């Protein structure tokens, strides 16, 4: 794992060969989650995303908790998934990050996503396991200039949402009512299709 800064946002980049099993304590002991424990994806699922063709895990600081003195307590969310379009070469990016020679451009086409258990198509009622950009959550992630570069309404997140090619329902081609960055499988057959 390595603390890096890309597109003005500081986060911990997790490499495919990082022993997150060993790091599990660190990853999860200080985290907070809005979803609740039962909604968290399995640890195996995190490991799959850790070395995906177009996915990596990352940990962001979160300053949501304000103390009585008015300062903010840094907390750590459960790992997010950073996802790129399919044609990205993440093996190359891993090397660049390790050698400190990456640039903002390497992350420009990426977007940060949460894992959710079920994505529902409102049209045909199909259900999928997918990665979703949670735009209902107000992100307050530490950055150099402000703490708000990755919240809804920020230039960074708005540009990413505008430029990312979000998924439609594989069954009926309807757009989802939420931003679905990746679909893993339809919930009926429980098979990975990526």
State the minimum distance, in angstroms, from the CB of residue 136 to Zn ion. 21
Q: Does 34 bind Zn ion (CB under 5 A)?
A: no
Q: Does 121 bind Zn ion (CB under 5 A)?
A: yes
State the minimum distance, in angstroms, from the CB of residue 18 to Zn ion. 37
Beta strands in the chain (DSSP E): 2-6, 9-14, 31-32, 55-66, 72-77, 80-83, 111-120, 127-133, 179-186
Q: Does 124 bind Zn ion (CB under 5 A)?
A: yes
State the minimum distance, in angstroms, from the CB of residue 110 to Zn ion. 26
Task: Put residue 87 in one of left, alpha, beta given phi > 0 → left and psi -120 to 50 → alpha.
Answer: alpha
Q: Does 187 bind Zn ion (CB under 5 A)?
A: no
State the minimum distance, in angstroms, from the CB of residue 121 to Zn ion. 3
Residue with tokens 């540009």: 159
Q: Does 123 bind Zn ion (CB under 5 A)?
A: yes
State the minimum distance, in angstroms, from the CB of residue 168 to Zn ion. 8
Structure tokens at 92: 């190359």
* CB nearer to Zn ion: pick between 65 and 124: 124
**Residues of this chain, 134-173, that bind Zn ion according to CB under 5 A:** 169, 171-172
Go through the chain and tell me how many residues it has.
Answer: 194
Q: Which stretch binds Zn ion (CB under 5 A): 26-34, 122-130, 151-159, 160-168?
A: 122-130
Kindly give, in sequence order, each residue whose CB lies less than 8 Å from that of residue 179, ignoring residues fewer than 6 positions away: 132, 133, 135, 161, 164, 166
Structure tokens at 158: 């708005």
Q: Does 180 bind Zn ion (CB under 5 A)?
A: no
How far apart are the C-alpha atoms of 88 and 101, rounded to whole Å? 17
Which residues make up the interface to Zn ion (CB under 5 A)? Answer: 121, 123-124, 126, 169, 171-172, 174
């Amino acid at each position: 794992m390595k603390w890096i800064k890309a597109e003005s946002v500081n986060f911990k980049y997790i490499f495919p060969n990082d022993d997150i099993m060993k790091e599990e304590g660190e990853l999860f002991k200080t985290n907070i989650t809005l979803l609740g424990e039962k909604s968290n994806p399995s640890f195996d699922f995190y490991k799959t995303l850790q070395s995906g063709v177009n996915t990596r895990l990352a940990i962001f600081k979160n300053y949501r908790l304000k103390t009585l003195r008015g300062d903010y307590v840094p907390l750590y969310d459960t790992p997010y998934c950073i996802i790129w379009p399919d044609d990205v070469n993440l093996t190359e990016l891993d090397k660049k990050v390790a050698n400190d020679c990456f640039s903002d451009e390497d992350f420009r086409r990426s977007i940060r996503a949460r894992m959710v258990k079920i994505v529902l198509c409102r049209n045909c009622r199909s259900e999928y396991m997918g990665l979703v950009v949670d735009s209902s959550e107000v992100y307050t992630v530490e950055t150099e200039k402000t703490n708000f570069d990755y919240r809804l309404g920020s230039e960074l997140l708005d540009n990413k949402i505008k430029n990312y090619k979000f998924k439609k329902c594989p069954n009926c081609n309807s757009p989802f009512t939420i931003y679905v960055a990746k679909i893993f499988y339809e919930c009926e057959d429980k098979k990975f299709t990526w």
